[in-house]
Amino acid sequence: MQKKERFQRFLDYFTQHYPEPKTELNFGNPYELLVAVILSAQCTDKRINQITPALFQRFPEPESLAAASADEAFTYIRSVSYPNNKAKHLVGMATALMERFGGEIPATVEELQTLPGVGRKTAHVILSVVYNEPTMAVDTHVFRVSHRLGLAPLTATTPLAVEKALMAYIPKQYVPKAHHWLILHGRYVCVARTPKCNICALRDFCKYYEKNARTGIAQI
């Protein structure tokens, strides 16, 4: 199967069955989303959604978070992964927002990445969800599913390489949605250790399934 056809099959399925995918992080404004995404690194969205209501009640805007100490922020996020570092990042991020951006969330990758705790992936999530920009945030799910489906070549060994491989074939208007499609498929179907090939609607063009079904590795 040609690469272009593989991508078209992927797009055809999800545009038909899941036309309006959304992030599973709960947020009410761009500031809350930025906080939630920073916290979500190496942590589940479910856990983040459990702790953010109290966090947002105490720090409803960047100004209040910037005025807090990392120690106080820590008390609200102690159950997430790496809470000490993330507490420092949150206060630093809020401080930078107030000092350099007037409390507003920047709208470029370059500006977002100047904020503590914000890398390329987080910046792309913000641009995609908040500003509907055609940016592809590559997390562990996107990385894994892209390789298994054959959307990204095995030579694409870094998130940036996978991002470029996906952006080369996915039309711009679908890029923000494709980010969610890949994440949700990886979270619930194409899971890391034992992918659920038996319920996967994409297996007829999946390279992983094609290779492993014959040996019994794929779950069929």
Q: Is 43 annotated as a binding residue?
A: no
- Has residue 219 been placed in a domain? no
Residues 114 and 151 in one domain: no
Residues 95 and 57 in one domain: yes
Residues 126 and 142 in one domain: no
Residues 144 and 122 in one domain: no
Q: Render pLDDT for 49-89 as a digit per residue (tens, 0 to 9).
A: 999 999 999 999 999 999 999 999 999 999 999 999 999 99
Last residue of a domain, one of 96, 131, 166: 131
Q: Which amino acid is at 138?
A: V
Torsion of CA 83, 85, 87, 89, to 10 degrees: -140
Last residue of a domain, one of 110, 131, 152: 131
Residues 124 and 55 in one domain: yes
Residues 112 and 185 in one domain: no
What tokens appear for 209 in the block? 């399934």
Tell me which residue of 189, 186, 185, 140 sits closest to 162, measured CA to CA. 140
User: What's the domain count of the chain?
Assistant: 2
Please list, in sequence order, all residues whose beta carbon lies within 8 angstroms of the beta carbon of residue 63, skipping any fewer than 6 positions away: 94, 98, 103
- Has residue 205 been placed in a domain? yes
- pLDDT at residue 1, rounded to an integer: 83
Q: Is 190 annotated as a binding residue?
A: yes
> The CATH number of the domain where 152 resides is what?
1.10.1670.10
- pLDDT at residue 212, rounded to an integer: 84
Last residue of a domain, one of 131, 165, 181: 131
Which residues are designated catalytic? 121, 139
% of the chain beyond a pLDDT of 90:
93
- pLDDT at residue 120, rounded to an integer: 94
Please list, in sequence order, all residues whose beta carbon lies within 8 angstroms of the beta carbon of residue 209, skipping any fewer than 6 positions away: 148, 197, 200, 203, 218
Residues 57 and 88 in one domain: yes
Residues 75 and 123 in one domain: yes
pLDDT tier at 36, thresholds 50, 70, 90: very high
Residues 126 and 195 in one domain: no
Average pLDDT of the residues in 127-155: 95
* DSSP 8-state code for residue 151: S
Torsion of CA 100, 105, 106, 107, to 10 degrees: -170
Q: Render pLDDT for 154-210 as a digit per residue (tens, 0 to 9).
A: 999 999 999 999 999 999 999 999 999 999 999 999 999 999 999 999 999 999 999
pTM higher than 0.85, yes or no? yes
Domain of residue 190 covers 3-21+137-212
